[in-house]
Amino acid sequence: MSFNINYKRKLFLYYFSIFFILTAAFVVFQYEREKQFRIAQLESTLNGVTDLTNNFIVSNQLIARNKTELIDSLLQIIPTIHSRITLIDNKGKVMFDNFVDDFGQMENHLERPEIQKAKYSSTGAGSNIRNSATTGQVFYYYAHYYDAYFIRVAVVYDVQIKNFLKAERLFLVFIAFVFVILWFILSYVTSKMSESITKLKDFAVHLRQNKTLEYDYQFPENELGVIGKQIVEMYKKLAETKNALSLEKEKLIKHLLVLNEGVGFFSPEKNAILTNTHFVQYLNLIADKSSIHPEHIFEMGELKNLHKFIKKYVQKNDVAINPHFLPQLEFTLKKGGYYFVVKCIVFQDKSFEIYINDITKLEKRKLLKQEMTSNIAHELKTPVASVSGYLETILNNKDIAEDKKNHFIEKAYKQAARLNTLIDDIVVLNRMEEDVDSNDFEAVLINKIVQEIVEDCEGRIQQHNAVVKAEIPDSVTVKGNDTLIASVFQNLVDNALNYAGDNVQIKINMYHQDEVFYYFSVSDNGIGIPQENLPRIFERFYRVHSGRSRQMGGTGLGLAIVKHAVNLHKGEVSVKNGTNGGAEFYFSLPKYVG
Residues 6+ apart with CB under 8 A from 357: 260, 261, 262, 282, 340, 341
Nearest C-alpha neighbor of 49 from the set 144, 138, 176: 144
For residues 467-526, which are near ligand ATP according to CB under 6 A?
491, 495-496, 499-500, 524, 526
Among Mg ion, ligand ATP, none, residue 98 binds (CB under 5-8 Å by kind): none
When binding is defined by CB under 5 A, the residue of 126, 228, 558, 582 that contacts Mg ion is: 558
CB 261 within 8 A of CB 357: yes
Residue 262 vs 582, nearer CB to ligand ATP: 582
Contact status, residue 540 vs residue 555, Cβ threshold 8 Å: no
Distance CA 499, CA 552 (A): 8
| Cα radius of gyration (the chain) | 62
> Do residues 301 and 310 make contact, with C-beta atoms less than 8 angstroms apart?
no
**Which helix (DSSP H) or strand (DSSP E) does residue 477 occupy?**
strand 477-480
Among 255, 316, 545, 551, binds ligand ATP (CB under 6 A): 545
How far apart are CB 567 and ligand ATP at their closest, in Å? 15
What is the chain's length?
594
CA–chain centroid gap for 183, Å, is 51
Question: Least distance (Å) from Mg ion to the CB of residue 555?
Answer: 8
Of 559, 565, 573, 589, which lies in the binding site for ligand ATP, with binding defined by CB under 6 A?
A: 559
Contact call for residue 582 and Mg ion (CB under 5 A): no
**CA-to-CA distance for 264 and 259, rounded, in angstroms?**
12
Residue 525 touching Mg ion (CB under 5 A): no
Q: Which is nearer to Mg ion, 477 or 549 (CB)?
A: 549
Among 194, 490, 495, 523, binds Mg ion (CB under 5 A): 495
Distance of alpha carbon 95 from the chain centroid = 100
Q: Which does 425 bind (CB under 5 to 8 A by kind): Mg ion, ligand ATP, none?
A: ligand ATP
Report, in Å, the least distance between residue 386 CB and Mg ion.
Answer: 20
The nearer residue to ligand ATP, 85 or 544, going by C-beta atoms, is: 544
Q: Rule CB under 6 A: is residue 98 a binding residue for ligand ATP?
A: no
Tell the smallest beta-carbon distance from residue 422 to ligand ATP (Å).
7
Site for ligand ATP in 396-435 (CB under 6 A): 425
**C-alpha distance from residue 171 to each of 26, 95, 100, 500 (Å):** 11, 47, 43, 135
558 binds ligand ATP (CB under 6 A): yes
Q: Which does 564 bind (CB under 5 to 8 A by kind): ligand ATP, Mg ion, none?
A: none
Between strands 328-335 and 352-358, the pairing is unpaired
537 contact, one of ligand ATP, Mg ion, none, CB 5-8 Å limit per kind: ligand ATP
Cα–Cα nearest to 354, from 469, 424, 276, 241: 276
Quote the least distance from Cβ 565 to ligand ATP, whole Å: 13
Using rule CB under 6 A, residue 557 touches ligand ATP: yes
Nearer to ligand ATP, 42 or 488 (CB): 488
| Closer CB to ligand ATP, 286 or 484, in the complex | 484
Q: How many residues form the binding site for ligand ATP (CB under 6 A)?
A: 23
Give the Cα separation of 510 and 507 in Å (integer): 10
Q: Please choose, out of 25-33, 238-246, 333-341, 554-562, the segment that lies near ligand ATP by the rule CB under 6 A.
A: 554-562
Instruction: Identify any residues that bridge with 515 across adjacent strands, giving them in sequence order.
Output: none
Distance CA 12, CA 34 (A): 32
Nearest partner of 134 among 118, 156, 150, judged by Cα = 156
Contacts to Mg ion by CB under 5 A? 495, 558
Q: Which residues bind ligand ATP (CB under 6 A)?
A: 425, 491, 495-496, 499-500, 524, 526-529, 537, 543-545, 549, 554-559, 583
